Each structure stands twice: as C-alpha cells, then as structure tokens.
C-alpha cells in the first residue's frame, strides 16, 4: 500500500477519444494535465486542445514534470509505447508512476510491468470499463498492483477508481472478461445479421428478433451503426482477449473470429468516419447493407 503520495500533474498519452475525455475531467477537477503531441494527428491535437491539456515539447519534458502517466491507446500499441517511455525514464532518471489503462491481457500487462520497472518507473495495472467521461455514468478504472492505491487520488474526479488487489494482471483480466461479452457480442451480431442479409432473410429474422428477442434487437439498433469507427481499434483488443482465454486453458477461437469480423468492418468505407463526423442517421439495416455489399465485392 502506497501512502503519502500526492498527484498534482498527470500526463495522458494519448488524448484520443477516451484519453482526452479523461484528461478533461481531471483538469476540471483541479489537476494539471499534460500531454505530448509530437507526431500526433490533427484530430488528436484538436481533442487535446478541447480538453485544455498542456502540450509539452518532448516526452522527456513530459516525464520530468509528471507524477503519474496514463497510457490510454489502442492495445496493439501498448508495448511499443511502454518501451519508448522506458527509454525516456532511463534518460531522465525519473521514477514516475506509469498506469497502463489499455485493453490488454494479463500476460501483456506483466510484460509491460517488467519494461517500466526495469527502467525505474513504478507500474500500475489499470483498465477502463464504460464510456468516456461526460457521455453517461463515469467510467470505472479497475487498478491492481503494488502501486495501485495511488490511483485513489483520482477517484471522484470524473472517473471511479476500483482497487482490486496487489497483483499485476487482475485489472487487465476483468477488462478482458467484460469486453469478451460486450464487444464480442457486437462481432457476433454483425456476423449473423450480415449472413442473414446475404441470404435474403433480413426481414424474416428481424420480425423474429422483435417478437422473441426485442431487448437484444434494440441493442443491435443502438450499437452497431456506431461500431465501424471503433472497429480497427477493437481488432487488437479481441486478439488480447483470445490470448487471455488461451492462457487459462479456454479456446481462443471465439475472439480470434471476433477479431476477423472487426478487421472486415474496418475495411469498409464506414470505418473512415470519425466519432465527430459519422452519419448518426444511418440505421442498422443501412449499416448491415454496407457490410453485405463489401462482403460480395471481396
């Protein structure tokens, strides 16, 4: 248990959809929030500006000024960022807390823990469940590891902190199991609805769902039209879930298949949209129609 640690400056890497929203609520709660926008896209820069984050000139400056670094990036990039930050930690001689908040397997979390710890940093295993702050209920950050308790400083600052033990990997594990259901279900829905459309059975299946599975069908209507803008990021997450299941002796094939579904969706024109400019009037039927045409053209 870590005691007598006060967090004043938090770094967020990177200020994307979730990262900038987390940074915004922490800033609004009185913390100093910094990031580094070197090499980042125009959209990421705009999101950081919207969240009133301070842009440091380099990662070295960011590390030197930060008490806590939050890694909030696509899971496929988590190890690469940790390696980059380890180099910076060594160069600066810093001992900052580094919380990996990404959708990664317990095995990947333990790998990153070694990378950060050997560089002199203090690792925290974290995971985020819920929508970005400001959209609905505050997201829950599950945290574990020997330094996890310092994250309690952020509780109530637009996010909720859930401490779940001193073992690295526990926070990642709960995220893997949760997303296996939520995002895994979306992959299954996309697959079965696209198959029905390809066989000319959409109307009949819709009527059956409305009759016998109305709550599930309403979820499909709400969620699937917005999935394409997230699909490319979810490919890596499904791979991490597959790895998690394999590690405990369960088949990884469910979520390897889900990864393939999201990879397919990520190749459609709908995946070129962003959360800011996507067509929010597009219906479930129109979305599945695009997927089916892409399937036939492949």
Please check the confidence at residue 107 and state whether its pLDDT lies above 80: yes
Q: SS3 for 192-211, per residue?
A: HHHHHHHCCCHHHHHHHHHH
The predicted model gives 168-197 an average pLDDT of 98
Number of domains in the chain: 2
Q: What are phi and psi of 232, to 5 degrees?
A: -65, -35
| DSSP assigned state of 225 | G
The predicted model gives 166-189 an average pLDDT of 98
**Element counts in the chain: helices (H) and strands (E):** 11, 8
Q: Is residue 182 situated within a structural domain?
A: yes
pLDDT at 8: 96
pLDDT at 4: 59
Please check the confidence at residue 16 and state whether its pLDDT lies above 70: yes
141 and 285 in a common domain: no
Do residues 104 and 78 touch, judged by C-beta distance below 8 A? yes
List b or e across 200-217, with b for residues whose CB sees 16 or more CB atoms inside 10 angstroms.
eebeebbeebeeeeeeeb
Tens digit of pLDDT for each residue in 196-230? 999 999 999 999 999 999 999 999 999 999 999 99
Please check the confidence at residue 49 and state whether its pLDDT lies above 60: yes
Most distant CA pair in the chain, distance: 64
Q: Is residue 1 situated within a structural domain?
A: no
144 and 200 in a common domain: no
Show which of 141, 168, 195 is a domain's final residue. Answer: 168
CATH assignment at residue 259: 1.10.1040.10
* Entry pTM: 0.94
205 and 162 in a common domain: no
Query: If we measure between CA atoms, which residue out of 167, 173, 64, 68 comes closest to residue 127?
Result: 173
164 and 199 in a common domain: no
Question: Quick one: the chain helix, strand, coil %, rounded to 5?
Answer: 55, 15, 30
Please check the confidence at residue 35 and state whether its pLDDT lies above 70: yes
pLDDT at 168: 98
- Answer left, alpha or beta for residue 182, where phi above 0 means left and psi between -120 and 50 means alpha: alpha
CB-based burial label for 57 (10 Å; 0-12, 13-18, 19+)? exposed
Q: Cα(266)–Cα(168) distance, rounded to whole angstroms?
A: 32
The predicted model gives 238-255 an average pLDDT of 98
Mean pLDDT value across the chain: 96
The predicted model gives 172-189 an average pLDDT of 98
Angle (CA) 117 73 12, round 5°: 70
186 and 66 in a common domain: no
Please check the confidence at residue 1 and state whether its pLDDT lies above 60: no
Please check the confidence at residue 233 and state whether its pLDDT lies above 80: yes
pLDDT at 3: 54
135 and 14 in a common domain: yes
Please check the confidence at residue 99 and state whether its pLDDT lies above 90: yes
pLDDT at 2: 52
255 and 111 in a common domain: no
Q: Which domain holds residue 262?
A: 174-297
User: Which neighbouring-strand residues pair with 243?
Assistant: none
80 and 20 in a common domain: yes
Q: Is residue 17 situated within a structural domain?
A: yes
Show which of 168, 195, 212 is a domain's final residue. Answer: 168
Query: If we measure between CA atoms, which residue out of 156, 129, 174 comes closest to residue 18?
Result: 129
Q: Could you tell me the sign of the dihedral formed by the alpha carbons of 74, 77, 79, 80, in that order?
A: negative
Please check the confidence at residue 273 and state whether its pLDDT lies above 90: yes
pLDDT at 285: 97
Tens digit of pLDDT for each residue in 121-164? 999 999 999 999 987 799 999 999 999 999 999 999 999 999 99
Q: Using 50, 70 and 90 to split pLDDT, how confident is the model at 296?
A: confident
Q: Cα(2)–Cα(4) distance, rounded to whole angstroms?
A: 7
CATH assignment at residue 140: 3.40.50.720
């Amino acid at each position: 248990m870590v005691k007598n640690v006060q967090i004043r400056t938090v770094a967020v890497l990177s200020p994307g959809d979730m990262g900038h929203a987390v940074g915004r609520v922490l800033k609004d709660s009185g913390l100093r929030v910094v990031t580094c926008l070197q090499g980042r896209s125009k959209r990421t820069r705009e999101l950081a500006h919207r969240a009133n984050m301070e842009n440091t000139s380099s990662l070295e400056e960011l590390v030197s000024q930060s008490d806590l670094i939050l890694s909030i990036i696509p899971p496929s990039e988590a190890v690469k960022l940790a390696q980059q930050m380890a180099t910076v930690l060594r160069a600066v001689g810093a001992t900052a807390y580094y919380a990996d908040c990404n959708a990664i397997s317990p095995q990947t979390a333990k790998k990153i823990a070694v990378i950060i710890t050997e560089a002199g940093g203090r690792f925290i295993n974290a995971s985020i469940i819920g929508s970005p702050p400001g959209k609905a209920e505050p997201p829950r950050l599950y945290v574990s590891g020997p330094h996890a308790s310092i994250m309690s400083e952020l509780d109530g600052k637009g996010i909720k902190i859930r401490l779940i033990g001193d073992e690295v990997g526990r926070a990642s594990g709960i995220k893997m199991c949760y997303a296996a259901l939520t995002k895994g279900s979306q992959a299954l829905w996309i697959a079965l609805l696209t198959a029905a459309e390809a066989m000319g059975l959409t109307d009949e299946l819709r009527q059956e769902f409305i009759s016998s599975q109305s709550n599930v069908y309403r979820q499909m209507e709400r969620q699937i039209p917005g999935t394409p803008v997230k699909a490319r990021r979810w490919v890596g997450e499904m791979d991490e879930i597959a790895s998690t299941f394999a590690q405990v002796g369960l088949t990884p094939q469910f979520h390897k298949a889900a990864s393939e579904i999201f990879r397919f969706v990520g190749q459609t024109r709908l995946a070129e949209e962003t959360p800011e400019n996507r067509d929010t009037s597009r219906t479930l039927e129109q979305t599945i129609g695009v997927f089916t045409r892409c399937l036939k053209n492949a």
